[in-house]
Amino acid sequence: MLNAKQKRFCQEYIIDLNATQAAIRAGYKEKTAYSQGQRLLKHVEIQKNIQKAQEKRSIRTEITQDMVLRELAKIGFTDMRNYSTWGADGVILKQSDELTPEQTAAISEVSETISKDGGSIKFKLHDKVSALEKIGRHLGMFNDKLDVNMTINSWDDLEKELSEKNK
Name the CATH topology of 4-63. Arc Repressor Mutant, subunit A (1.10.10)
| Tens-place pLDDT, residues 81-138 | 999 999 998 889 999 999 999 999 999 999 999 989 888 889 999 999 999 999 888 8
pLDDT at 152: 62
Beta bridge partners of 24: none
Q: Using alpha carbons only, what angle is made at residue 15 by residues 9 and 20, rounded to the nearest 5 degrees? A: 50
Q: Average of pLDDT values for 36-52?
A: 93
pTM of the model: 0.57
Neighbours of 133 (CB within 10 A): 15
d(CA 102, CA 126): 13
For the chain, which residues make up each domain, given as ranges? 4-63, 70-130
